[in-house]
Structure 1
Amino acid sequence: MDVGGVLLLPNAALLTPVVARHGGVDTPEGFIRAHFAAHNAAFPSRGQPRGDYYDLLPRYAGVPEGRWLACAADYLEISRSRNMWHAPDPASKQALAEITGAGVPVAVVSQADGRIAQMLRDARMCQEGDGPGVPVDAVLDSAIVGFDKPDPRLFRAALDRVRVDAAHAVHVGDTVPADVRGAQAAGIRAVHYDPYDDCDAPGDHEHLRRLHEARALVAP
């Protein structure tokens, strides 16, 4: 299971005002909607990206064209001040608890910088063993494992940690080039987390809109 865009979302409370002051959406819900649209446009299933995520976000957030560059610069500046993908999604946490509560082994796999385990703990989302969040079997950080997505070795490392064969595994992630292609290369069933049906190739791979839908895909 992926982290950013699935378990942890961009902090809409901090980022919505950045967009709003340039004339864009002014609600957290509107911001999150724009985020997923921009993310899928920046990381499409096929063809070339429509642009950089930070440049695209203002367009999907309803910012007037004359303010796109200024908004993108402000959005990038605040994002560089700290990792903004740290807001826990309550619905995803509940779904994660349901999955682990059913006895399904779970490995969390993130393209990160060595700090994802602490971020998940701080967000009270999940951790290995006891803690403030949902106990999971493994948390893998690409910077620590030594392989970046979509390298299948990162996904195979997750399989090794939970002692599950690829044929019996499912990976859920929000980025097709990294998550879906990486999992597929490792022989894992790959599912695109796409809450608003933004994927440019809906027939190319499986999708789900809410994490609780993943419960039906895994045993026991």
Structure 2
Amino acid sequence: MIRAVFFDAGNTLVRMNYAAIAVELAAHGVRATPDEVQRAEWRARVRLDDEVFAPASGAASTESGSSAGRYVRLILEALGVTDDAVAEAMAEWRHAYNAPAGLFTVADPSAEPALELARARGLTAGVISNSNGTIRATLRTLGLLPSLDFVLDSAEVGVEKPDPRIFRLALERARVAPREAVYVGDLYSVDVRGARAAGLDAVLLDPAGLWGARDCRSAPDVLAAVRLILRGPGDSETRSRRAHGPVAAPKRSLSETTAVARSSSAGSAGATDPRGEARELSRVA
């Protein structure tokens, strides 16, 4: 019986400010809509995992400058941008953009209903995030913190995913056994493998069916992931997806899918002033 569900933060409960990235790209002569940036990030996420985290077998940190720099490059490549000058300018902008919290300022539109559903079903809900000490404040600003029982920030606990110790800390906080908890995240090598190393099941977020056939359950967003967990491990839709390959998610406009962060006392919401958001791209998991 599942008694707890743990969530990643970046690209799971919280997404980056695609509008801010589009505005900065325009300043360097690159035309891209926020929706196009979002789709490019989805592709970059898979490549980052395959090219950086999978080969490293846990040795590469999601919090390192090199990982963040590679992430930026992959997003630009997915947009068709190969100009080194633009890549360098975007890397500098990313590094300086409202440090230390970065670009992750927008609540995923499925985050709040997912947390509400988990709590309504009596599940303990927690966050396990590779972060720099800012994720709790971000979740508070976005109004998600009250729906969580606890938050584990890697900078605070001294260990980061995929190290199984951070997952075991979550199990201790929730007072559940590994078989009674499921983890939801966006990176296979960091989230799925890390959770499994601690004995937990995991659901991989795959919003556009880009991960291909993986040996785990997958869902297009965090609300769908919670529903999948509540249905149990034998869900027929998931088995079909594994057998027949990725299925593209229906295209949704940014206005329909992006929930903008509530303003903090030091900044304003990204949809109206995307340059005013306060997060850093270095937090990728």
Report the TM-score when normalising by structure 2. 0.67
Q: For 1:32 and 1:184, locate their aligned partners in 2 and report how far apart those are by CA, in whole Å.
A: 28
Deviations 1:135-186 (A, max 9, x none): 2111110111111111101001011111121102110101112111110100
Unpaired stretches in structure 1, ≥5 consecutive residues: 128-133
**Sequence identity, in percent?**
35
Asked whether the 8 Å contact 1:170–1:188 carries over to 2, the reply is yes
Q: State the partner residue of 2:130.
A: 111
Instruction: Report SS of the residue matched to 1:90.
Output: coil
Deviations 1:77-113 (A, max 9, x none): 2221221122211222222222222221111110011
Q: State the partner residue of 1:205.
A: 216
Matched, 1:38 2:50: no
Q: State the partner residue of 2:12.
A: 6
Q: For 1:80 and 1:97, locate their aligned partners in 2 and report how far apart those are by CA, in whole Å.
A: 34
Q: State the partner residue of 2:226.
A: 215
Q: Which of 104, 115, 120 is the equivalent residue of 1:85?
A: 104
Deviation at 1:19, TM superposition (A): 2.8
Instruction: Report SS of the residue matched to 2:204.
Output: strand
Asked whether the 8 Å contact 1:23–1:62 carries over to 2, the reply is no
Q: For 2:55 and 2:72, locate their aligned partners in 1 and report how far apart those are by CA, in whole Å.
A: 19
Matches within 5 A, 1:7-26: 7-22=13-28, 24=30, 26=32
Q: Which of 68, 72, 79 is the equivalent residue of 1:54?
A: 72
Deviation at 1:21, TM superposition (A): 4.5
Q: Root-mean-square deviation (CA), in Å?
A: 2.2
Q: For 2:226 and 2:37, locate their aligned partners in 1 and report how far apart those are by CA, in whole Å.
A: 27
Matches within 5 A, 1:111-150: 111-124=130-143, 126-127=144-145, 134-150=146-162
Asked whether the 8 Å contact 1:171–1:191 carries over to 2, the reply is yes
Q: For 1:74 and 1:87, locate their aligned partners in 2 and report how far apart those are by CA, in whole Å.
A: 23
Asked whether the 8 Å contact 1:184–1:190 carries over to 2, the reply is yes
Q: For 2:72 and 2:230, locate their aligned partners in 1 and report how far apart those are by CA, in whole Å.
A: 38
Q: For 1:118 and 1:203, locate their aligned partners in 2 and report how far apart those are by CA, in whole Å.
A: 33
How many residue pairs are counted as aligned between the two chains?
208
Deviation at 1:4, TM superposition (A): 0.3
Asked whether the 8 Å contact 1:104–1:218 carries over to 2, the reply is no
Matched, 1:175 2:187: yes
Instruction: Report SS of the residue matched to 2:218.
Output: strand
Q: For 1:23 and 1:38, locate their aligned partners in 2 and report how far apart those are by CA, in whole Å.
A: 21
Instruction: Report SS of the residue matched to 1:86.
Output: strand
Paired AA for residue 106 in structure 2: A
Unpaired stretches in structure 2, ≥5 consecutive residues: 1-6, 61-68, 232-285
Deviations 1:38-60 (A, max 9, x none): 111011285589x9212111111
Q: State the partner residue of 1:130.
A: none
Deviation at 1:17, TM superposition (A): 1.8
Q: For 1:24 and 1:62, locate their aligned partners in 2 and report how far apart those are by CA, in whole Å.
A: 10
